[in-house]
């Protein structure tokens, strides 16, 4: 399985220190750990943070040949604040290196030969990276859109245009309700708004994460649900990204949709029980967690 991701690579700056992050990177780090051949398209600064970031991405066994060095903007550093429940909020500086991702022929070839192309909404905040993404999307076989709404860095009109290009999307429940309302949904339930968004965008697969309450997955006209796994939360950073990585891997591997969403919920819960976005978690750990003796 060959997967390529586009967008932000950064340092999440916690009070206790910096941790490698960025949603598109977190998703494919998790997919690589499950067995995928993974490559990252991004940009980092010509600074010490950038050199260390590149080294750490390579350590995660992610191909870095499509990561560009940026001379005009620094490597991205994001201040992370955690509330008493471990839920994170982010201060994302603009502009930074990944706002300036340029189109390269090597990236076009990699996207065209990949089984899936993963991207998020944050990297569309700047015209340069946005234009690059639009051109890469024209070559992708299967497009997975991780909708990460970070105020003030999105526009609902532009978001809808991008959603209509996706084959699969992931939102959390707050994002679902915010966007459904913005696009004129008259509905109140999760299920009704899922179906509203599917009709509006034409997306084939739509997943809504529900925090500690699991997730709902729309595929082939049917909604699959899982109520989640109970864990002691360390922090929620990267939990949704690993969820999407696990879900995407399973669905690309032709797993049953219910099996895929159960696996993804288990993986997301395990990540939330540990610090940082991409803790090492083995397939055996996930299986043992899903099926305790």
Q: Hey, what domains does the chain have and what are their CATH numbers? A: 2-290 (3.40.1190.20)
> What pTM was computed for the model?
0.95
Task: For residue 81, name the pLDDT band (cuts at 50, 70, 90).
Answer: confident
Model confidence over 4-34: pLDDT tens digits? 999 999 998 888 889 899 999 999 999 999 9
| Rounded Cα–Cα distance for residues 289 and 239 (Å) | 16
Q: By three-state DSSP, how is residue 46 classified?
A: coil
Model confidence over 197-255: pLDDT tens digits? 999 999 999 999 998 899 999 999 999 999 999 999 988 888 999 999 999 999 999 99
DSSP count for the chain of H helices, then E strands: 10, 13
**What letter does residue 124 receive in the DSSP assignment?**
G
Q: Find out whether 123 and 43 touch, Cβ atoms under 8 Å.
A: no
Task: Please list the residues that pair with 11 across neighbouring strands.
Answer: 20, 77
Q: Find out whether 151 and 189 touch, Cβ atoms under 8 Å.
A: no
How many CA within 13 A on the CB side of residue 146? 29
Which helix (H) or strand (E) segment is 234 a member of?
Answer: none
CA-based nearest residue to 20, from 54, 71, 68:
54
| Rounded Cα–Cα distance for residues 187 and 193 (Å) | 6
Which helix (H) or strand (E) segment is 252 a member of?
Answer: helix 239-252
Which pLDDT does position 16 carry in this prediction?
81
Task: Please list the residues that pair with 21 across neighbouring strands.
Answer: 10
Q: What phi and psi values does residue 11 have, to the nearest 5 degrees?
A: -105, 120
Which helix (H) or strand (E) segment is 32 a member of?
Answer: helix 23-34
Structure tokens at 17: 């220190």
Which pLDDT does position 235 carry in this prediction?
83
Q: Find out whether 160 and 201 touch, Cβ atoms under 8 Å.
A: yes
Q: Find out whether 8 and 76 touch, Cβ atoms under 8 Å.
A: yes
How is the beta sheet containing 37-45 ordered, strand by strand? 67-70, 37-45, 2-6, 116-120, 143-146, 168-172, 205-209, 215-219, 222-226
Which pLDDT does position 14 carry in this prediction?
81
> 132-146, 187-201, 268-282: lowest mean pLDDT where?
268-282
Model confidence over 35-45: pLDDT tens digits? 999 999 999 99
Name the percent of the chain lying above pLDDT 90.
Answer: 85
Largest interatomic CA distance in the chain: 55
| Rounded Cα–Cα distance for residues 70 and 273 (Å) | 35
Which helix (H) or strand (E) segment is 15 a member of?
Answer: none
- pLDDT averaged over the chain? 95
């Amino acid at each position: 399985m060959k997967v390529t991701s586009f967008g932000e690579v950064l340092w999440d700056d916690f009070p206790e220190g910096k941790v490698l992050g960025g949603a598109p990177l977190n998703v494919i780090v998790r997919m690589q750990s499950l067995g995928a051949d993974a490559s990252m398209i991004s940009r980092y600064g010509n600074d010490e943070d950038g050199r260390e970031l590149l080294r750490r991405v390579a350590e995660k066994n992610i191909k870095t040949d499509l990561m560009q060095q940026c001379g005009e903007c620094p490597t991205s550093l994001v201040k992370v604040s955690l509330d008493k429940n471990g839920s994170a909020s982010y201060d994302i500086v603009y502009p930074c290196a990944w706002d300036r991702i340029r189109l390269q022929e090597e990236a076009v070839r990699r996207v065209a030969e990949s089984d899936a192309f993963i991207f998020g909404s944050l990297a569309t905040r700047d015209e340069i990276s946005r234009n690059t993404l639009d051109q890469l999307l024209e070559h992708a076989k299967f497009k997975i859109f991780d909708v990460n709404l970070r105020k003030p860095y999105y526009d609902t009109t532009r978001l809808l245009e991008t959603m209509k290009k996706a084959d699969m999307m992931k939102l959390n429940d707050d994002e679902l309700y915010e966007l459904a309302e913005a696009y004129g949904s008259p509905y109140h339930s999760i299920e009704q708004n899922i179906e509203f968004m599917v009709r509006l965008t034409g997306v084939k697969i739509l997943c809504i994460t529900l925090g500690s309450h699991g997730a709902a997955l729309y595929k082939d006209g049917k909604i699959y649900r899982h109520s989640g796994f109970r864990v002691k939360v360390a922090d929620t950073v990267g939990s949704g990204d690993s969820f999407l990585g696990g879900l995407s891997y399973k669905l690309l591997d032709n797993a049953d949709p219910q099996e895929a969403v159960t696996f993804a919920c288990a993986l997301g819960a395990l990540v939330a029980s540990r610090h940082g976005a991409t803790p090492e978690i083995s397939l055996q750990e996930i299986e043992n967690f899903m099926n305790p003796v």
